[in-house]
Structure 1
Amino acid sequence: MNKINIDTEQDIQKAKKKALIVLALFPLFLIVFIPYGIYWVYFDMSHLPKEKVLTESTSPDGIYTVKVYLINGGATTAYAVLGELSFNQERRKPKYIYFNHREDYANLNWLDNDTIIINGHKLEVPYETFDYRRD
């Protein structure tokens, strides 16, 4: 009878430890995944619906190509323009360098091998970006 009480007490202690671990990990889960969810919904441009390519331009030295897409967010939002920089001589994934709302056109002009003007915004590629939500 005494052994049964000891086993039950040990089981209770184990259950308390497991509950404490779960309660300690839950806030950590919230701290990690809620900010990522906010980033994914509001700032991650990889899931935007690229309606069509408006224009495309390659840098004078052929290292970069910029494709500009028209983004249609639906009936309640204005059109937007998304610029994507591709690296022609490196195996790197494309980088989004331009995002502006209330636009449905794209004017691209290379000033030199690393400087492009997109709709009046001068960018040094591949380092600078323009995003109306941040700039």
Structure 2
Amino acid sequence: MSTRTGHTATAAAKGVRWVKKVLRTGIFVICLLLLAYWRFFVSMDFLPRGERILVSESPGGNQIHLYLCNGGATTSYAIRGEAVTDRGVKNIYWQYDETRADVRWLSDEVVSINGVVLNIYEDVYDYRRNSR
């Protein structure tokens, strides 16, 4: 009878270990999927570099660098805009299906890129989240 009880305890312990292993693996896979989603569909930190097509400078010395990003054989071109300021370089504009850019400075901190008005220190336009 003691061997049967010991066997049951061992089987129960194995079952608990198996459940813990499945839960850990499931949580790890979910975390990887969330990270991949953020990396490819939310973050503007990993956009393609592209070919620089325009540099525009504000009266105060801030700059907007615009790049034409080739989408490859299956997707269209896109325009990426980065603000170059005393605070560093930051992507502030990402628009799909565009090949030209019109930049107009409204002040030293506010710029209009293809009709989208952005404060270079506070705003970000990403076509995946914003619509015109």
TM-score (norm 2): 0.78
Asked if structure 1 preserves the Cα contact closer than 8 Å seen for 2:41 and 2:128, the reply is no
Closer/same/farther in 2, CA of residues 85 and 16 from structure 1, 3 Å limit? same
- Which runs of 5 or more structure 1 residues have no equivalent in the other structure? none
Deviation at 1:43, TM superposition (A): 3.3
Report the Cα distance in structure 1 between the residues aligned to 2:27 and 2:11, rounded to whole angstroms: 25
Matched residue type, 2:64: V
Report the Cα distance in structure 2 between the residues aligned to 1:18 and 1:104, rounded to whole angstroms: 56
- Which residue in 2 is equivalent to 1:25? 24
Deviation at 1:60, TM superposition (A): 2.1
Stretch moving more, 66-75 or 53-62: 53-62
**Counterpart of 1:86 in 2: which secondary structure?**
strand
Q: Please, what is the CA RMSD of the aligned residues?
A: 2.7
**Counterpart of 1:19 in 2: which secondary structure?**
helix
Matched residue type, 1:31: I
Q: 1:117 aligns with which of 74, 87, 112?
A: 112
Asked if structure 2 preserves the Cα contact closer than 8 Å seen for 1:50 and 1:72, the reply is no
- Which runs of 5 or more structure 2 residues have no equivalent in the other structure? none
Counting matched residue pairs gives: 130
Q: Does 1:54 align with 2:49?
A: no
- Which residue in 1 is equivalent to 2:81? 83
TM-score (norm 1): 0.76
Identity of aligned residues (%): 28
Report the Cα distance in structure 1 between the residues aligned to 2:117 and 2:73, rounded to whole angstroms: 31
Q: Does 1:42 align with 2:38?
A: no
Asked if structure 2 preserves the Cα contact closer than 8 Å seen for 1:49 and 1:73, the reply is no
